[in-house]
Amino acid sequence: MRFEEASHHDEDGGQYWFARDLQNLLEYTKWDNFLAVVAKAKEACARSGHEVDDHFADVGKMVPLGSGAEREVDDIVLSRYAAYLIAQNGDPRKRPVAFAQTYFAIQTRRQEIEDAVEGEYIPMSEDERRVLLRDEIKEHNRNLASAAKNAGVREGLEFAIFQTEGYKGLYGGLDVPGIRRRKGLNPKQHILDHMGSTELAANLFRATQTEEKLRRDKIQGKETANRTHFEIGRKVRQTIEEIGGVMPERLPPAEDIKKVSRRLNKALKNTSKRLVD
């Protein structure tokens, strides 16, 4: 997950982020605009009875310049609680902010459980896994579209055909309408929104591996790109078969991810209320 990859750990195992890294993840282009969100988060931290300095530590950071030299810029070391508050006070119209709110709500809930039942492993729920995987696929599908474009696949119909080839490889020849019919979905329902975590993970692997191969092998030509996507989908399917898994087209449709997100966001609000109270 992108938020996990951007985090760091101190000597005691505590998780933290640098504000400038979080700024990029939340797609705030201007540092000053992001600092306004940080200021709101600090205010919320103080209102909740926490010491602001324990969660927001000002630091200097060296960044490279185009000439090869470096210069120092201001940054902030953020605890997980600070990052959570920043997500809560960010612009929810930004998709990365909405994702961050869900992510930190899940992590906060897990920490509460771990504190209550020390030493006992509590796995993520199916809802939590689905929401995080669905957002990861959105991100990687954009990266895949970029890689396909570099390979010569044009937007629109050509990219739709390219995507179809990946599904056909993974789903034993079924295209998107075929997958919908197999799962009893109507034409307006997005198949990714009705996949369980196992099926989403298979599709995420298909997307990430196809993107990597297109870029690594510098593949050119839409026919070659389509064939590459199909073959990787087929390889993922073959792996599922070899380990005795259920073929993706045979997995039952899951509840609409939008309903799941609303349910988790409601839990998020309840968690926020408990933290502030």
Taking only the tens place, the pLDDT of each residue in 225-239 is 999 999 999 999 999
Quote the tokens at residue 110: 């897990």
Quote the tokens at residue 94: 């930004």
Determine contact, residues 158/222, Cβ cutoff 8 Å: yes
Return d(Cα 83, Cα 99) in angstroms, integer: 13
Q: How confident is the model at residue 170 (pLDDT cuts 50, 70, 90)?
A: very high
Q: How confident is the model at residue 276 (pLDDT cuts 50, 70, 90)?
A: very low
User: Does residue 126 come out as left (phi exceeding 0), alpha (psi in the -120 to 50 range) or beta?
Assistant: alpha
How high is the pLDDT of residue 167? 97
Half-sphere exposure for 173 (CA within 13 Å, toward CB): 0
What pTM was computed for the model? 0.58
CB-count burial class (<10 Å; 0-12, 13-18, 19+) for 148: buried
Quote the tokens at residue 113: 């459980």
Q: How confident is the model at residue 12 (pLDDT cuts 50, 70, 90)?
A: confident
Q: How confident is the model at residue 4 (pLDDT cuts 50, 70, 90)?
A: confident
pLDDT higher than 50, residue 29: yes
Determine contact, residues 233/166, Cβ cutoff 8 Å: yes
How high is the pLDDT of residue 269? 61
Distance set, CA 231 to CA 91, 210, 226 (Å): 40, 9, 9
Q: Which of 82-91, 119-128, 148-157 has the lowest mean pLDDT?
A: 119-128
pLDDT higher than 60, residue 122: no
CB-count burial class (<10 Å; 0-12, 13-18, 19+) for 204: buried
DSSP 8-state secondary structure symbol assigned to residue 243: T
Determine contact, residues 135/99, Cβ cutoff 8 Å: yes
Return d(Cα 192, Cα 185) in angstroms, integer: 11
Q: What is the 3-state secondary structure (H, E, C) of 173-230?
A: CCCHHHHHHHHCCCCCCCHHHHCCHHHHHHHHHHHHHHHHHHHHCCCCCHHHHHHHHH
Greater pLDDT, 168 or 84 = 168
